[in-house]
Amino acid sequence: MRLLISGGGTAGHINPAIAIAKTALAREQGSEALFVGTPNGMEQRLVPREGFEIRSINVMGLRRRLTLENLKVAANYFTSINDAGKIIDDFKPDVVVGTGGYVCAPVVKAAFRRKIPTLIHEQNVFPGLAIKMLAKRATVTAVSFPETRSMMRAKNIVVTGNPLRPDLFDKVDTDALRASLGFDERPVVLVFGGSLGAEHINDALLAMLKAGGLGFNLIAATGEKHYEGFVAALGEAPSGVKILPYIHNMNEIFALADLVVCRAGAITVSELGALGKASVLIPSPYVAHNHQEYNARYLEKNGAARVLLESELSGESLRAAIKSAVGDPAALKKMRECSAKIGIRDACSSIWAQLVKITL
């Protein structure tokens, strides 16, 4: 199978695209995947690192307020459809895949014109503008959460879940890991604010640690740029507390954690469900359409998480949210069960099945 794949802007769009490509190469011998992105997008770094070729088209995102700049964006958009069409004509794909971000719109539109089968994938509960626009004509619209069905008009919509990295499900010796971290038998709480860290979460975490008397083990990632300042402000970490700039073995730490406190990005909440983890979610208020709160509320509504808004966040509220979870073993067990119930572990297989179906 020959796949032309486009998605960019953030790792949340790019990593699922890479996972889909890897699945195709693993499932069908002789498959090829070519990516299309913007010249300066994050995809230019992430895609080649995984061994895939990427070509570029010049396309800009629509401004969210009335401005003359949008006239330039519109003109550029039609040019980018033609540019994407030239890549399609050269590569001759069996299917075109779009995983979100404004770069995927002209690529999928060019595929529509050529009557090439298309599959688009939405990672979040609340669909992005590009996916909503394309769903009316795409051969298949794959979504990660059932609630998304009611938020868009689609020709053919299928719930597949989010493609997740395979190492997430590796077996972990949690007893040995607990011992290596110097943790006792109390519950383990994992706190992180994304790959770069989150200043407001760090501030609340610092206040909570300074107040003392946790009653649980804690491992936290501050983000590289926040680490030195955080450690200097904290001083010596209390017993049972491990502060890191970044967690490289996240699959192992996830396995150990009894409760996860984090943002509510699409991949993160999908990982929590796939692993059956209880969580306290602090959705970022700085993202388009407040989509992280939609993700967090979906887990909360299904009993898998508790939501703590950043506007409510403090050392005291963070401690209270954690204590209410780990201090009630029956409630924590119920959260884990609810999380596992809505989790989807086989998204790559489901998406592959759809690709095979539409290219027969």
User: What per-residue confidence (pLDDT) applies to 77?
Assistant: 86
User: What per-residue confidence (pLDDT) applies to 360?
Assistant: 92
- Residues 296-316 have a mean pLDDT of 98
pLDDT averaged over the chain? 94
Domains along the chain? 2-164+345-359 (3.40.50.2000), 168-342 (3.40.50.2000)
Say whether pLDDT at 4 is over 80: yes
User: How does residue 64 score in pLDDT terms, banded at 50, 70 and 90?
Assistant: low
Say whether pLDDT at 343 is over 90: yes
CA distance 121 to 100: 7
120 φ/ψ angles, rounded to the nearest 5 degrees: -115, 150
Instruction: Give pLDDT tens digits for 253-300.
Output: 999 999 999 999 999 999 999 999 999 999 999 988 899 999 999 999
The pTM of this model reads 0.91
- Residues 68-93 have a mean pLDDT of 83
Instruction: Give pLDDT tens digits for 213-263.
Output: 999 999 999 999 999 999 999 999 999 999 999 999 999 999 999 999 999
Return all residues near 239 (Cβ < 8 A) that are at least 6 apart.
182
CA proximity to 358, closest of 155, 122, 152:
155
Q: For residues 144-174, b (16+ Cβ closer than 10 Å) or e, as one string?
A: bbebbeebbebeebbebbbbbbeeeeeeeee
Say whether pLDDT at 358 is over 90: yes
User: What per-residue confidence (pLDDT) applies to 78?
Assistant: 87
Residues 291, 246, 274, 307: is their CA dihedral positive or negative? Answer: negative
Instruction: Give pLDDT tens digits for 153-169.
Output: 999 999 999 999 888 99
User: What per-residue confidence (pLDDT) applies to 167?
Assistant: 87
Instruction: Give pLDDT tens digits for 120-150.
Output: 999 999 999 999 999 999 999 999 999 999 9
